[in-house]
Chains A and B, each alone.
Chain A
């Protein structure tokens, strides 16, 4: 069995296409994660500096605020610093007032801006304090829960989750995790495309090369070979997904720093009530990407054996990946929109993975990243059964 599995792995990894895809995808991951540090930053055509210099400066400023609670004192410091900024000037970020005073607080400014919806002079003139900020965020969350058509049980769950959040929120420098969280959608899509392309030939190659007639009449050419093929396919999907995920994690944490694992998730995703840290959110997201990669492997292998064609399987798989990227399901169709967000192409995004639409079973609330692995596992077993039926009962005819 082990020998068969090794040869099946060899068949997958010997294909030049697999290595081309892997190298290309890793390059895209490097660009996605490290790209923002390349080149220069311009404001209305005027160069502010290189992106790397700007990053280093912002990092230093954010580190200076690291560990400080976003309380009344920090809010007023930020407002005071920003009060010097001439917002009427389109190039205000180039002014000394901004660079010297305000920029230090830009992370806090942007957080408050997201919660209050205010900007510029309006934000500077805002009279509220940390408690108001918290109240406004809660109101925003309540409105969001209404829009998401959450049940009373779900709303109670999220209210309880909100109550667990530390107030006032403590600001942490967490750029590495923030970049990883933002890049998850792109990396997830790359994983899906790569797995679909590389595994669409696992079964059809036997038919295309006419090796099926020899292998199927061997002692272990049915049950054990099928298991070896599935095992090799799933492990390859996991390997491909892990390569991209590890590249992203190493590069992001290497470039931007590992600090901030325990920052509140709301620091990078204001409109979310999950009581977890930024590091935990990234961990869950990337584990979901690995899961989605494996699921796509099972799905594409099933279609490839149904159609006996890698192109047919690839077309269907790419359709499934792209569908949620081009079309969104209105939230007023609660069940449909929830199921839509579970599609592989959508679930790799943070907003789906941490959606507040949950599944309530016997009064217990299950979150998307708890439901989807079970759902995918069940569907994966179904796909494996269908693939097995097709492969084991394959009839060699024609030719």
Chain B
């Protein structure tokens, strides 16, 4: 299980969003930190195959990011989670399960499990437009987990969750990170501080720090501010 990011760059006209990033990721939790515009979301989108790199390659166990086989093992929660307002929560998950190629009976079972996991069973048959922000976020998390992804990419997953849910979700990620590759971007440094096996920091499109919590002495947030000066932690 190895996700290889080889000299990946993304350039928009004269702006370099991601600059020659190379990484080899094995199972574990990777916390991605960086200021606004550092290139985190661009990198995550390239890892999901929804944005083509200007140069470089991304592959998982030799499977290119553009292939269906790669997408089959991928779970993604985007920062701005979109939904179909007139779908019920259950319908939405069943639809996403169909998109992920999960068979009908397995999908029903999995949807039931995940609705329980994210505490949405009671509102499963209600339209998503009636959900609160936190409920929508939990639904987003559930859809990312539908296919038991080996690569799980989470962009701001705990945004909108109450403290209790955040702790629950953090524990869930910690569990998932034992057998899978989890890449997590969040502005809540304490989330990364507690669960990330490896911390990645980006600035101006480049990877400026790649190490474990043990490599950082003292408080992570202070370390971040020291490294990037006035930069806003995202």
A residues contacting B by CB (< 8 A) are 3-4, 7, 10-11, 14-15, 206, 209-223, 225, 394-397, 399
Contact = CB atoms under 8 A, between A and B. Distances in A.
A396 B51 contact: yes
Interface string B75-106: 01010111110110001001110111100100
A2 to B, nearest CB: 9
B50 interface: yes
Contacts of A395: 50-52
B82 A218 contact: no
Given A209-B84, A211-B82, A399-B80, A216 B68 contact: no
B98 A213 contact: no
B74 interface: yes
A209 B83 contact: yes
Contact of A218 (B42, B86, B96): B96
A4 B45 contact: no
Given A219-B71, A396-B45, A3 B98 contact: yes
Nearest to B52: A395
B98 A220 contact: yes
Interface residues of B, number: 32
A7 B78 contact: no
B185 interface: no
Contacts of B84: 11, 209, 211
Contacts of A216: 49-50
A220 B45 contact: no
Interface string B113-139: 000000000000000000000000000
B80 to A, nearest CB: 5
B81 A214 contact: yes
A10 B91 CA distance: 10
Interface string B41-58: 010010011111000000
Contact of A219 (B87, B91, B143, B147): B147
Contact of A7 (B68, B81, B95): B95
Of the candidates A3, A212, A218, the one having the most CB atoms from chain B within 10 angstroms of its own CB is A218
A219 B50 contact: no
Contacts of B143: 214
Given A214-B143, A396-B50, A219 B80 contact: no
A214 B86 CA distance: 17
Contact of B100 (A15, A211, A218, A222): A218
Contacts of A209: 82-84
B125 to A, nearest CB: 15
B82 A212 contact: yes
B82 A217 contact: no
B72 interface: yes
Given A4-B99, A210-B80, A214-B143, 9 more contacts: A3-B98, A7-B95, A11-B84, A214-B76, A215-B96, A218-B101, A222-B71, A396-B45, A397-B51
A99 B98 CA distance: 69
Nearest to A3: B98
Given A210-B82, A211-B83, A396-B50, A218 B99 contact: yes
Contacts of B52: 395
29 contacts: A3-B94, A3-B98, A4-B98, A7-B91, A7-B94, A10-B91, A210-B80, A213-B45, A213-B48, A213-B50, A214-B76, A214-B96, A214-B143, A217-B48, A217-B50, A217-B76, A218-B96, A218-B100, A218-B101, A219-B68, A219-B99, A219-B100, A219-B147, A220-B99, A221-B99, A222-B68, A395-B51, A396-B51, A399-B80
A142 B78 CA distance: 69
The 7 closest A-B pairs by CB, nearest first: A210-B82, A211-B82, A218-B99, A3-B98, A217-B48, A219-B101, A219-B72
Given A216-B50, A395-B51, A210 B147 contact: no
B86 A14 contact: yes
